[in-house]
Amino acid sequence: MTATCNSSAREFSPIEYSDGVLRMIDQRLLPGEEVWLEYTDFRAVAEAIRTMVVRGATAIGVAAAYGAWFGARDIEAEDFAGFWTKFEEVCDLLAATRPTAVNLFWALERVKSFVRANDNQSVVNLKIGLEYEAIAIAAEDIRTNRAMGKNGAPLLPDGARVLTHCNAGALATGGYGTALGVIRAAVAAGKKIAVIADETRPWPQGARLTAWELQRDGIPVTLICDNMAGYLMSRGEIDCCIVGADRIAANGDVANKIGTYTVAVLAKEHGIPFYVAAPLSTIDMSLPDGSHIPIEERGAAEVTHSGDRQLAPEGIAVRNPAFDITPARLVTAIVTEQGVAKGDLAAGLRALAGQGR
């Protein structure tokens, strides 16, 4: 793994692949430094996912697909059976990095399905095909996000002041974004949109990443602390909310960054629409409701420290769930690449998932 700097102003993607090398911007260092890390080994990609060099549901999936390809490339096997055994081990290691974002498992299942469907191919051809499959997953993610943006843009009225939580932009995807993709599409359609970004403790993805992205795009953005949203809603200064998702259950319950549930409750109290933007790959139809979604608990230091600076007493007990569950009853609509689910979200998601097959 090597590090380089990049300050290109072209349309942004946090993940780039060329000639067998994966480059990812180190999101832990933004906005202070724009450092790109290079990867050629699946174990290093797994560590990048675990330590949040790359984060965001679909970005994790894209990174995992390339990681699976790196692992496959290095497998020494004479036949399919030997290759498959070792490839499963590669995918298992990648899958163990972060439990909540279903796109990680979706991407790994997709590359495994490719291998199973081509069990009559040579090991060399399997490796070639897996590289193309990873490239296809990355390209499809950007197309999906653009379709999502087009479908969701009509939900945002001209002049809207939109609250978002965490980062669901280009940095969280292969490019363009989910929630921020809807905002970008509305702006591209000529609407005047102003964004209010929650800081999103304890990793400040809103302060560090969403604010950086929108400022870079010239979209008006105002940063607030996480505990300010209710006050602004009470003053009529927020017109709607839109967030991304790491996993959506079949009934429309949504797992997203911790604090999302609080925003949804406040929006309901103040009669403000609460929208979720996520691709069909984020919808886990195998789970009937959000109680079955595994919630990642991360280390105490993320809460007790800001960088090297200690914020809390030594030895204090800490809870650090990385995500929470927003029940479907608080969600106004879910935007996907196939359309928008409203009202009966369970029925709507079933219909949209059927279209996506």
Closest CA to 168 of 107, 198, 210: 210
Single-letter code of the amino acid located at 196: I
Q: Could you say which residues of the chain have pLDDT below 70? A: 1-11, 356-357
Domain ranges of the chain: 2-146, 147-355
Q: What is the pLDDT of residues 94-150, one digit of tens each?
A: 999 999 989 999 999 999 999 999 999 999 999 999 999 999 999 999 999 999 999
- Domain 2-146 and domain 147-355 have a common topology: no
CATH fold of 2-146 reads Four Helix Bundle (Hemerythrin (Met), subunit A) (1.20.120)
What pLDDT is stored for residue 197 in this prediction? 98
* Whether 226 is catalytic: no
What pLDDT is stored for residue 101 in this prediction? 86
What pLDDT is stored for residue 6 in this prediction? 42
Parallel/antiparallel/unpaired status of strands 274-277 and 309-310: unpaired
What pLDDT is stored for residue 357 in this prediction? 53
Closest CA to 152 of 12, 352, 11, 357: 352
Report whether 64 contacts 108 (CB < 8 A).
yes
CATH fold of 147-355 reads Rossmann fold (3.40.50)
What pLDDT is stored for residue 346 in this prediction? 97
What pLDDT is stored for residue 10 in this prediction? 44
Question: What percent of the chain has a predicted confidence (pLDDT) above 90?
Answer: 94
Query: Looking at 198, 246, 253, 284, which residue is catalytic?
Result: 246
